[in-house]
Amino acid sequence: MNKTITVTGGDSRQLYMSGYLYEKGYDVKIFACEHGKKPAGVKDCNSIDEAMASEIIILPLPVSKNGNTLNTPLSSKEIKLKEITDRINESHFVFYGMGSTGFSKNVQAKAFYSCDYFNIESLIYKNAMLTSEGIISIVLDKLPLTVFGLKAAVTGYGRIAAFTAEKLKKLGAQVTVFARDEMQLLRASLSGVSSFDLSALNDMADKFDVIINTVPSQIIGKKAIEKSKASCVFIETASSPYGIDSDACALYDRALIKAFSLPGKTAPKSAGIIIGETIDKQLREVK
């Protein structure tokens, strides 16, 4: 098995991942990561052509933030996605995270094998667990209160919300879940936390020290924010179009913490290793 990998672009998660894969016996190179700390044993690539000469190409999570250029926060280079896809051929194994439909179809049509690793259930599950730990660390760092006795609201009850509610509850917080989905409310109730339809938050917002949103749809508006306590902290963890009305938070002088890119910011090594584990497993299954 050819075990030559180039990790192209990405943040510190990709650097930790490259170190993990090197330790697993792969010949690993990195490209467009020159402002990060290169792991021992990992080599540099000097050009995109050199990078794409490897059989296995690993692209970032997310692969792009604007749909046009590669996500390269550790590089001064601007790399068009087209520069990547134009060089993909039938010998390539290509891994990427959160690719658009168009990008995914393009890669699938050209590569021998392609995989959006953030569609793999085990990685999503592990990432949600790490994300919830990141949320808890923000709560501990930003609120002038102990978690024990904290009155916390969590919107939604997907993986991240469920892990977050569970961890807060175990630490002694009083947790209330607000959701629109009947099954989510049932699961929350069965887990031992209070649960209400999302519409109830408008009338109950003044009961909480912190309100954590995990729903990528604007569900916390002026009414709930105005009703909330002046000391309440809002934590936004959802992706665009987000769930908390930031203008209303500014209007009513409520603290809003934008907790994006978790767990990449709070636990980049752990996040990188679980990506590396996932890709290594996929390669062993398909090669």
Contacts of 159 (CB under 8 A, 6+ apart): 124, 125, 128, 129
Contacts of 55 (CB under 8 A, 6+ apart): 2, 4, 5, 91, 92, 93
Superfamily name and number for 4-119: NAD(P)-binding Rossmann-like Domain (3.40.50.720)
The token pair that represents 172 in the structure block: 């002694």
Cα 194 to Cα 88, 127, 155, 179: the distances in Å are 51, 25, 12, 11
pLDDT on residue 185: 97
Using CA atoms, how far apart are residues 272 and 15, in angstroms rounded to an integer?
7
pLDDT on residue 2: 65
- Cα 46 to the center of its chain, rounded Å: 29
Give the right CATH number for 124-258 from 3.40.50.12780, 2.60.40.420, 3.90.550.10, 3.40.50.720.
Answer: 3.40.50.720
Query: 151, 174 in Cβ contact below 8 A?
Result: yes
pLDDT on residue 15: 98
pLDDT on residue 1: 52
The pTM is what?
Answer: 0.92
Residues of the chain with pLDDT under 70: 1-2
**Bridging pattern class, strands 233-236 and 174-179:** unpaired
Residue 268: is the preceding peptide bond cis (ω within 30°)? no
User: Is the fold of 4-119 the same as that of 124-258?
Assistant: yes
Domain range annotation of the chain: 4-119, 124-258
